[in-house]
């Protein structure tokens, strides 16, 4: 895979840099938050080499790539700085689309995902240490054991600081200031004061107000709430303090306000909330211990699709921190991931198509080891029946683990390699039961998937029908398409446009016109698929399936629609030569904006060649401009 070419293709097909609010990635997926999701060409992305699938859930447009996602993400970030492309209006619009629950889940996922590496690393080290102790390779009284133990405990003990940094990125406040606030909660002197107050019974006070005697080491909820509060305080202080003094006074006032509020009010509230959550989990474990692992084992694939599975991580971490034993997140996700892999392997054994067998085998092994997205989007969701098999196998395996009260002793990515995290206590009983539960999930899912099979011609048939109906998925078309010039003016190569997003071909291939007048006409007959509220750009799809973007001027979005008038609406069918937009060229130039107008073919990868007819020439509107074949 050419990572740069793939990144450029994806960026083009999600609507370009200016359509991206933010982008991140997990183990297998690029996760975009887009301003206008309807501008994204999901089918075009699916056709790209190396792309496993596309899913839109929970306010995110997700591109499933697999293990090479980090390399593609790195190239994507080189193409554009997405951190500076956000605006308040778009963020509010995104929140509104997600809803309260979706927004909360997205926030939790955004905070916890960056911390997974540290938690998993320390968790696996704890599991390895437990195995070494059981095999009597390391003695618990040795200094080697103590050093390895503190290494394995580090991420969990200092979790408030780790989460503070991650939460600060999510809430867009100073990360290092947030880390200092997290440090307050686990400072040795603060812990000593709390312990002394508990022993003497005299209590602990700050400015005459009682301090809750809580232990915040390994806590989750308190620090997230405190950093959320800090994000508002920091921004509020910045508005009041003169710019020349912000570097000194903003951190000072923020700490003076947030520190006391954290230990007096917000921290205790979070601690109490965590206590109620723990009590609820204990009640579930005593009342119906089989229920949660079975539900998690069954529905984890659906939760992964929505990004909701990250909501389970705080529960598992909280249980590990408070009891050292997690029965909520780990067991159910373990058998679910193994079942997902088994379902794909069932397809590999049953399928006749060589490409399908190869894909199913590869993603099946990956899923059994804990990375399920390639199997889910490459096999399960594509053919449906393997998804049912994975849910059945995961549910049965989870039921078994729940009945026997199986839990993990350390945080680890759920999968076959995480089985050592079930080693703990005085025996290997839990480990053996975890192995049996995993085997049950694998066998049941494999058997159901093998019996149900898949319709190997179904996907091809569906794709052909979609292409025939939409008329937009013609690849390497042999038919020549001619586009007319939407404006009168001088035609220049795209490389001469004073914006790298256009000059480097990130948003599409084509040319640009330096306009003589302010009328934009339809270059072909087709449908208007996107009309920006600011009216500075318009997108259409021709009847042959060619996707065209006309972007009037550079940075003219800042004019907020001033000097622009649209004569069509989004979704409207237009004929070749119809007037689309008119604009006041002179006023825009007087406002300091370049009116050079790129005319781009967004789905250029679907064609063999895009030829500009009149480069470096003056052209009249509705004259021939480009040939596409």
Encode pLDDT of 573-589 as tens digits: 999 999 999 999 998 98
Q: What string of DSSP letters covers 21-35?
A: EEEEE-SSEEEEEES
**Beta bridge pairs of residue 32:** 23, 61
384 and 307, same domain (yes or no): yes
Q: Is the predicted pLDDT of residue 406 greater than 50, yes or no?
A: yes
pLDDT at position 201 is 87
At 479, the pLDDT band (50, 70, 90 cuts) reads low
Q: Is the predicted pLDDT of residue 474 greater than 60, yes or no?
A: no
pLDDT at position 556 is 83
419 and 521, same domain (yes or no): no
Helix and strand element counts for the chain (H, E): 23, 20
pLDDT tens per residue, range 34-57: 888 888 888 888 888 878 778 776
Q: Is the predicted pLDDT of residue 88 greater than 50, yes or no?
A: no
**Beta bridge pairs of residue 537:** 551
Sign for the CA dihedral angle at 274, 276, 280, 283 comes to: positive
Block residue for tokens 């293990």: 67
d(CA 12, CA 505): 9
d(CA 402, CA 293): 5
Q: Is the predicted pLDDT of residue 99 greater than 80, yes or no?
A: no
113, part of any domain: no
403 and 434, same domain (yes or no): yes
Instruction: Give all strands of the β-sheet with 60-64 in edge-to-edge order.
Output: 20-25, 29-34, 60-64, 53-57
CATH number at residue 499: 2.70.70.10
Provide the pairing of β-strand 209-210 with 624-628: unpaired
Cα 129 to chain centroid distance, Å, stands at 33
Q: What string of DSSP letters covers 320-356?
A: HHHHS-BSSSHHHHHHHHHHHHHHHHHHHHH---HHH
Beta carbons of 567 and 501 less than 8 angstroms apart? no
135, part of any domain: no
pLDDT at position 2 is 80
**Beta bridge pairs of residue 550:** 538, 599
400, part of any domain: yes
Beta carbons of 171 and 228 less than 8 angstroms apart? yes
d(CA 327, CA 329): 6
Q: What is the pTM of this model?
A: 0.55
User: Which whole number is the average pLDDT over 512-540?
Assistant: 88
380: which DSSP letter?
I
CATH number at residue 29: 3.30.1360.60
105, part of any domain: no
d(CA 240, CA 184): 26
Q: How many domains, in total, are found in the chain?
A: 4
283, part of any domain: no
Identify the residue with better confidence: 477 or 348: 348
Residue percentage of the chain with pLDDT more than 90: 29
431, part of any domain: yes
Structural tokens at position 368? 């059994």
Cα 581 to chain centroid distance, Å, stands at 36
Which sequence positions are flagged as catalytic?
26, 551
User: Which whole number is the average pLDDT over 447-469?
Assistant: 65
pLDDT at position 460 is 47
pLDDT at position 27 is 59
Beta carbons of 297 and 394 less than 8 angstroms apart? yes
Q: In terms of C-beta density within 10 A (0-12 exposed, 13-18 middle, 19 or more buried), how is residue 132 classed?
A: middle
d(CA 221, CA 430): 29
Q: Is the predicted pLDDT of residue 557 greater than 60, yes or no?
A: yes
451 and 505, same domain (yes or no): no
Strand residue runs (E) in 397-484? 481-484
572, part of any domain: yes
d(CA 113, CA 102): 16
405 and 544, same domain (yes or no): no
Beta carbons of 385 and 450 less than 8 angstroms apart? no
108, part of any domain: no
End position of a domain, from candidates 247, 278, 309: 278
Beta carbons of 350 and 341 less than 8 angstroms apart? no
pLDDT tens per residue, range 112-130: 777 777 877 887 888 888 8
Instruction: Give all strands of the β-sheet with 519-521 in edge-to-edge order.
Output: 519-521, 579-583, 564-566
**Beta bridge pairs of residue 624:** 484
End position of a domain, from candidates 86, 120, 137: 86
Determine what percent of the chain falls in helix, strand and coil, rounding each to the nearest 5. Answer: 60, 15, 30
Which of the residue ranges 180-194, 305-319, 368-382, 491-505 would you say has the lowest mean pLDDT? 305-319
472: which DSSP letter?
-
335 and 242, same domain (yes or no): no
B/e letters for 163-176, b = 16+ CB within 10 Å, e = fewer, are bbbbbbbbbebbee
At 226, the pLDDT band (50, 70, 90 cuts) reads very high
Residue 411 has φ and ψ, to the nearest 5°, of: -75, 125
Q: Is the predicted pLDDT of residue 278 greater than 50, yes or no?
A: yes
User: Residue 35 sits in which domain range?
Assistant: 3-86
End position of a domain, from candidates 36, 55, 86: 86
Structural tokens at position 97? 């689309």
């Amino acid at each position: 895979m050419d990572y740069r070419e793939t990144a450029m293709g994806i960026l083009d097909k999600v609507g370009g840099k200016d359509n991206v609010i933010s982008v991140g990635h997990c183990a297998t997926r690029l996760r975009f938050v887009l301003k206008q999701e309807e501008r994204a060409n999901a089918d075009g992305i699916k056709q790209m080499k190396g792309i496993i699938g596309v899913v839109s859930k929970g306010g995110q447009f997700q591109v499933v790539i697999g293990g090479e996602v980090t390399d593609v993400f790195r190239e994507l970030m080189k193409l554009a700085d997405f951190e500076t492309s956000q605006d308040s209006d778009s963020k509010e619009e995104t929140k509104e689309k997600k809803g309260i629950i979706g927004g909360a889940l997205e926030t939790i996922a955004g905070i916890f995902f960056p911390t997974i590496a540290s938690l998993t690393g320390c968790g696996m080290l704890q599991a390895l240490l437990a195995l070494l102790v059981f095999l009597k390779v390391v003695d618990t009284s040795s200094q080697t054991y103590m050093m390895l133990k503190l290494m394995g405990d580090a991420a969990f003990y200092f979790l408030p600081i780790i989460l503070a940094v991650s939460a600060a990125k999510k809430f867009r406040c100073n990360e290092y200031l947030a880390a200092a606030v997290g440090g307050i909660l686990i400072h040795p002197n603060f812990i000593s004061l709390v312990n002394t107050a508990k022993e003497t019974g005299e209590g602990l006070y700050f400015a005459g107000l009682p301090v809750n005697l809580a232990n915040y080491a390994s806590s989750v909820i308190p620090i997230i709430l405190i950093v959320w509060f800090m994000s508002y305080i920091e921004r509020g202080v910045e508005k009041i303090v003169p710019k020349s003094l912000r570097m000194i006074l903003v951190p000072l006032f923020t700490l003076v306000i947030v520190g006391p509020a954290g230990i007096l009010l917000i921290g205790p509230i979070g601690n109490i909330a965590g206590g109620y959550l723990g009590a609820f989990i204990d009640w579930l474990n005593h009342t119906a211990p089989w229920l949660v692992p079975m539900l998690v084992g069954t529905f984890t694939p659906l939760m992964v699709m929505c990004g909701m599975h990250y909501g389970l991580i705080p529960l598992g971490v909280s249980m590990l921190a408070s009891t050292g034993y997690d029965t909520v997140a780990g067991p159910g996700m373990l058998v679910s991931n193994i079942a997902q892999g088994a379902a794909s392997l069932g397809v590999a054994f049953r399928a006749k198509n060589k490409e399908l067998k190869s894909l199913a085998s590869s993603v099946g092994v990956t899923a059994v080891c804990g990375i399920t997205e390639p199997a889910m989007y490459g096999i399960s969701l594509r053919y449906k029946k393997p998804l049912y098999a994975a849910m059945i196998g995961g549910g049965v395996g989870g039921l078994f683990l729940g009945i026997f009260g199986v839990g993990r002793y350390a945080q680890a990515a759920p999968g076959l390699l995480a089985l050592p995290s079930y080693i703990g206590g005085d025996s290997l009983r839990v480990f053996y039961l975890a192995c049996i539960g995993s085997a049950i999930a694998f066998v049941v899912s494999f058997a159901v998937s093998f019996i149900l099979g898949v319709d190997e011609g179904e996907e091809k048939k569906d794709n052909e029908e979609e292409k025939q109906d939409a008329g937009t998925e013609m690849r390497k078309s042999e038919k020549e398409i001619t586009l007319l010039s939407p404006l009168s003016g001088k035609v220049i190569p795209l490389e001469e446009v004073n914006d790298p997003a256009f000059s480097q071909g990130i948003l599409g291939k084509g040319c640009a016109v330096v306009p003589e007048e302010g009328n934009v006409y339809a270059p072909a007959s087709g449908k208007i698929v996107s009309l920006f509220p600011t009216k500075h750009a318009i997108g259409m799809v021709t009847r042959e399936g060619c996707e065209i973007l006309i972007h009037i001027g550079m940075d003219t979005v800042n004019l907020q629609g001033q000097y622009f008038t649209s004569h069509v609406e989004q979704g409207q069918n237009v004929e070749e030569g119809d007037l689309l937009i008119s604009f006041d060229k002179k006023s825009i130039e007087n406002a300091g904006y370049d009116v050079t107008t790129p005319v781009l073919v967004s789905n250029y990868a679907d064609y063999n060649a895009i030829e500009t007819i009149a480069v470096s020439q003056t052209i009249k509107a509705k004259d021939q401009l480009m040939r596409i074949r």
